[in-house]
Amino acid sequence: MTNITLKQLRYVEALARHGHFGQAAEACAVTQPALSMQIKELEEGLGARLFERGARQVRLTGLGEEFAARARDILRAVDELAEVARARRDGPGGRLRLGVIPTIAPYLLPRLIRDLATRYPGVDLQVRETQTDRLIAELIEGRLDTALVALPVSEPSLDEVALFSESFVLVRPAAHASRPVPSPAALPDMQLLLLEEGHCFRDQALEVCGLRGGARRAGFDGSSLSTLVQMVGAGIGVTLIPEMAVAVETRGAPVAIQRFAADRPARTVGMIWRRTSPLATDLREVAEVVRQSAEAMYDAAMSG
């Protein structure tokens, strides 16, 4: 029986995640030969291969898949032991690894970063902006402490705290400003522009229009709300954006903003974190700072 080290477990997890020795070594901040040697020694001690080495890619064996899954569980537990000490020592003012989806980050982060620094002087804030599925995966793997997303995510291992609700607004060409506000169900007939697949806001917009399950549709799919608004300004269709994006994305663009009169489509924004996180009490404090930052952002937009 081999003596398995935490270093070897981290190398296995990194190689399983990246599927490439060079990328795994870079993620672990070691040389590729050092990582390869540790994994080879581990396999020799186990008497079995964990990885299939190909010319361009590395794949897990059947044993490797089970081993990597258990390694992740062990590493997560070890990291949570460190988090217990960090929570007792630093509280919310220590390191905070925060994930944010792209339809929130550009609009709320500037104020939130300032408010967190004021509330927790010396906080080491590390921000990761990406799509919801990736944030959930990185939370579960212990690479993030918490994330700001649209709820619900319905992941059993995560806690969800709703913070605020915001409406969606219709963006259409400026020349159409005097036209009546259409019903959400009529939007697909107006060449509705959406974010590309993978963005939760795309799915929410489709649901608003009654197109559930990611129904296929013709039209332009953009990688950002900014791109969609500029396309509308060029006279190509209409789009939906969240209220918090209006001031930033429509500034100087030849577009008109229209708000739905009744039953306004909206999303709920909240924070998520692992149920087992030792930082849970501190994260509830952080969630309140986020809620207050969002409230101040909307107040400033209304007064402006």
Question: Is 88 buried (19+), middle (13-18) or exposed (0-12) by CB count in 10 A?
Answer: exposed
Least confident of 86-100, 135-149, 153-167: 86-100
Which carries the bigger pLDDT value, residue 207 or residue 104?
104
- Among 137, 19, 4, 153, smallest CA distance to 70 is for 4
Residues 6+ apart with CB under 8 A from 145: 83, 95, 96, 97, 98, 139, 273, 277, 279, 283
Mean pLDDT value across residues 149-170: 94
What is the reported pLDDT for 94? 76
At residue 211, does pLDDT exceed 80? no
pLDDT tens figures, 43-87: 999 999 999 988 778 999 999 999 998 998 888 888 777 766 666
pTM: 0.75
At residue 7, does pLDDT exceed 50? yes
Q: Which domains does the chain have, with CATH numbers?
A: 6-84 (1.10.10.10), 90-164+267-303 (3.40.190.10), 165-265 (3.40.190.10)
From the CB of residue 302, how many other CB atoms can be counted at a distance below 10 Å? 7
What is the reported pLDDT for 48? 92
Here the contacts of 18-25 (C-beta below 8 Å, separation 24 or greater) are: 19/57, 19/58, 19/59, 20/57, 20/58, 21/58
At residue 199, does pLDDT exceed 60? yes
Which carries the bigger pLDDT value, residue 52 or residue 278?
52
Rounded to an integer, what distance in angstroms lies between the CA atom of residue 184 and that of residue 169? 10
Locate the DSSP E strands across the chain.
Answer: 51-53, 58-60, 95-100, 124-129, 146-151, 158-173, 192-195, 221-222, 238-242, 255-258, 266-274
Give the C-alpha distances (Å, rounded to integers) separating 237 from 65, 168, 176, 191: 46, 17, 11, 5
Which structure tokens are listed for 233?
A: 């300004």
Mean pLDDT value across residues 97-112: 95
What is the reported pLDDT for 206? 79
Q: Which of 151-174 are b and which e, b meaning 16 or more Cβ less than 10 Å from the residue's Cβ?
A: bebeeeebbebebbebebbbbbbe
What is the reported pLDDT for 2? 66
Least confident of 9-13, 27-31, 64-68, 300-304: 300-304
Confidence of residue 265 (pLDDT cuts 50, 70, 90): confident
Rounded to an integer, what distance in angstroms lies between the CA atom of residue 130 and that of residue 152? 17
| Helix extents (H) in 170-220 | 200-208
Confidence of residue 189 (pLDDT cuts 50, 70, 90): confident
Beta strands 124-129 and 255-258, pairing class:
unpaired
Q: What is the mean pLDDT of the chain?
A: 87
What is the reported pLDDT for 293? 96
What is the DSSP secondary structure assignment for residue 49, as one 8-state letter?
-
What is the reported pLDDT for 216? 46
List, in sequence order, every residue forming a beta bridge with 168; answer none if it has no partner: 242
Cis peptide before 152 (omega within 30 of 0): yes
Mean pLDDT value across residues 269-282: 91
